[in-house]
Every structure is written in structure tokens, then in C-alpha cells.
Amino acid sequence: MNKKEVAHIRKQFKLDNHLMQIYDILNVYTMKETNEIYHWGRSPFGLVDREKQELYMGNFKKLLTKRIGS
């Protein structure tokens, strides 16, 4: 993917976008040394409060931005 395509996808990360539906959030915690999973949890995205939903969307955008630089 080129920068223009990634930028277009980043613009889609909005809570009111009907084209991008997020159903579940999976949180996984791993041991730094071994990458062994020691805890995980799944939450329905719709049941997470609005402030956390916006935080997740912001983090998703940041993840896409960092991929371009690497």
C-alpha cells in the first residue's frame, strides 16, 4: 500500500462511519522476554464507553502512521 491509500484508510477511522464497523476489541498482554500470553480479554466495542472508543480510534490511526515510516 502506498501513502495515499493508507491516508484514505486512516480517514475512515471515525465512530460514526457506517462503512467501518468494529465489533470486538481484543486486549492481549504478553511477557516481554518470552512473548508468552499471560492474559487476554475481549470486549464488545459497542459496550465500551464513548471516550475509550475514541481513544481506540486514535490509536488505530497512529498504528497506520507508524507503518509508513518503517
The answer to whether the beta carbons of residues 68 and 7 sit under 8 Å apart is: no
Q: What is the pLDDT of residue 70?
A: 45
Q: What is the pLDDT of residue 68?
A: 44
Q: How do residues 43-54 score in pLDDT, each as one tens digit?
A: 999 999 999 999
Grid coordinates given for 10 = 486512516
